[in-house]
Amino acid sequence: MGQKLIIDTDPGVDDAFAIALAALSEDVELLGVTTVFGNVSLPDTTRNALRLLALCGRSDVPVGAGADRPLVHPQRSRATRIHGADGLSGRSSMLPEPTREAHRSGAVNLLAELLETADEPVTIAAIGPLTNIALLLATHPGAREHIDRIVIMGGGLNGGNSTPVAEFNIWSDPEAARRVLVEEDVPCVLVPLDLTLRCAVDSAWLAKLAAAGAVGSALTALTPDYVASYRKVLGFDGMAMHDAVAVAEAIRPGILRTEPFPIEIDCTSGPGRGATLVDRRPGLARDEAEGPVPAGTVHVAVDTDLDGLRAFVLDRLSLP
Band of the pLDDT at 81, cuts 50, 70, 90? confident
Q: Which pLDDT value is given to residue 285? A: 58
Angle ∠(275,38,22) on CA atoms, nearest 5: 100
Q: Residues 226-255: pLDDT tens digits?
A: 999 999 899 999 999 999 999 999 999 999
Q: Which pLDDT value is given to residue 290? A: 65
Q: Which pLDDT value is given to residue 137? A: 98
Q: Is 95 left (phi over 0), alpha (psi -120 to 50) or beta?
A: beta
pTM of the model: 0.95
Q: Is the pLDDT of residue 151 over 70?
A: yes
Q: Residues 158-175: pLDDT tens digits?
A: 999 999 999 999 999 999
Band of the pLDDT at 79, cuts 50, 70, 90? confident
Query: Of the residues 83, 103, 146, 242, which is catalytic?
Result: 242
Q: Is the pLDDT of residue 259 over 70?
A: yes
Q: Per-residue b/e over 84-119, b at no fewer than 16 CB within 10 Å? A: bebbbbebbeebeebeeebbeebbbbbbbbbbeebe
Q: Which pLDDT value is given to residue 212? A: 95
User: Contact at 8 Å (CB) between 90 and 84?
Assistant: yes
Q: Is the pLDDT of residue 289 over 70?
A: no
Q: Which pLDDT value is given to residue 74? A: 87
Tell me what percent of the residues of the chain surpass a pLDDT of 90. 86
Q: Which of 86-90, 255-259, 271-275, 313-317 has the lowest mean pLDDT?
A: 86-90
User: Contact at 8 Å (CB) between 146 and 111?
Assistant: no
CA-to-CA separations, 74 to 138, 162, 175, 178, 205, in angstroms, rounded: 20, 15, 12, 16, 38
Q: Residues 30-44: pLDDT tens digits?
A: 999 999 999 999 999
140 carries an active-site annotation: no
Q: Which pLDDT value is given to residue 281? A: 85
In this structure, the number of other CB atoms found within 10 A of the CB of residue 138 comes to: 15
